[in-house]
Amino acid sequence: MFKHGADLEKIRRKYHFKGELVDFSSNINPFTPENTVINIIDDIEELRRYPDIEYIELRNSIADHIMEDNDKCDFFFNQENICVGNGATELVYLLMRTIKGKIGVICPTFSEYRRAASIVGRRHVEIQMFQTEDGFEYPDFTKPEMDIYKDIEALFICNPNNPDGKLRNLDKVVEFCQKNCIKLVVDETFIEFCEDYKDYTALNYSYQNIYVLRAITKFYGLPGIRLGYLVTKNSSYVDELFKLKEPWTVNSIASHLGVDLLKDKKFSEYSRKFYKDEREFLTKSLEEIPNLKVFKTDSAFMLVKIDDSVGMSARDLKKKLIFDYGIVIRDASNFLGLNSKYFRIAVKRHRDNLLLIESLSEIFDV
């Protein structure tokens, strides 16, 4: 079964809960661009036609967006470097079908990489990050002990990582992959929420075997549209993906709306400023609550740990928040390398963040 956040209907069924819920389990922008509804209505006639099977206009728009948004990248991207999908998750599964050898996954992280590898029968290994006082860090890929991973065909990495939301420098990872001819798949689904995203994107590296995944609809607050894309300097690999890809997986509305969304630079700037302010507020407020450890984040969500001295698990806390406060958090205990004390929360509107802080303060007797 799937184990993700954002499934409120499943939660209502499981807990027989009929009231209103504030969803801190899904990492979605609480805002959408102001002309979204108008653009959808304008495009409604597109439902009477098949989408362009090659999505040329959408792919050109994505390439233009990347070129305008990444002034530190010296490569000229065009539509031949782009593959689109029904959310970034479709592209994870599509990528797996092109890989024949062993796969490495840096953990703790998004569970669908391992699940996709298992479904297509690919052997995979988990490369565990090590925990520090402030969070989790990559192992040092320049050290000889990392040579045991030289035989993997592809390495999957999430940046900023899910579930902790921290951006990390990829220099040593890229060097290791390039030295050993390993495909590097970098999931940047949440990078556009980050203030310093231009400095950390894998698009800045010259290595041709880097494949970057992004999702349009999370950042623009429209996850139900399901629209993601892959970017790589290796255009022949995009051709290979399209040969394997099912046709028309992106619907007409999503295809046309994606073009409109990417033009809204004002919304992007507003959203990043909003997230910077609310991240700082939420982090500072949570750090004042005893028995909670807040891990540094740069993105749309944060990882929190309940102190081992407290007789409460993340699952217990989740149930209490649902029934007593109408709040849903993400129990993060099923992330490889985390235990029953970890939970993840999204950064929401200020009033919702206040509600969460007040609720947790009551529970932990502040």
Is 60 exceeded by the pLDDT of residue 6?
no
Is 60 exceeded by the pLDDT of residue 118?
yes
Q: How confident is the model at residue 229 (pLDDT cuts 50, 70, 90)?
A: very high
Structure-model confidence comparison of residues 76 and 2, the more confident one: 76
| Residue 301 contacts residue 193 (beta carbons within 8 Å) | no
**CATH architecture of the domain formed by 36-263:** 3-Layer(aba) Sandwich (3.40)
Is 70 exceeded by the pLDDT of residue 269?
yes
Which pLDDT score, from 0 to 100, does residue 217 have?
Answer: 87
Q: Decide yes or no: CATH 3.90.1150.10 for domain 8-32+266-364.
A: yes
pLDDT per residue over 49-107, tens digit each? 999 999 999 999 999 999 998 887 889 999 999 999 999 999 999 999 999 999 999 99
The reply to whether 36-263 shares the fold of 8-32+266-364 is no
What mean pLDDT is reported for the chain?
93
Pull the structure tokens for residue 191: 């990078």
pLDDT per residue over 185-226, tens digit each? 999 999 999 999 999 999 999 999 999 999 998 999 999 999
Q: Cα 107–109–111 angle (5° rounding)?
A: 110
Which pLDDT score, from 0 to 100, does residue 4 have?
Answer: 54
Which pLDDT score, from 0 to 100, does residue 42 have?
Answer: 86
Place of tokens 């007040």: 358
Q: How confident is the model at residue 47 (pLDDT cuts 50, 70, 90)?
A: confident
pLDDT per residue over 138-169, tens digit each? 999 999 999 999 999 999 999 999 999 999 99
**Average of per-residue pLDDT across 287-296:** 96
Q: Which amino acid is at 152?
A: I
**Of 360, 315, 323, whose CA–CA distance to 341 is shortest?**
315
Place of tokens 């919702």: 352
Delimit the domains of the chain by residue range.
8-32+266-364, 36-263
Compute CA 336 distance to the chain's CA centroid, rounded to the nearest angstrom: 16
Which pLDDT score, from 0 to 100, does residue 206 have?
Answer: 94
Q: Which amino acid is at 110?
A: F
Please give the Cα distance from 294 to 311 (Å, whole number): 18
Which pLDDT score, from 0 to 100, does residue 76 have?
Answer: 93
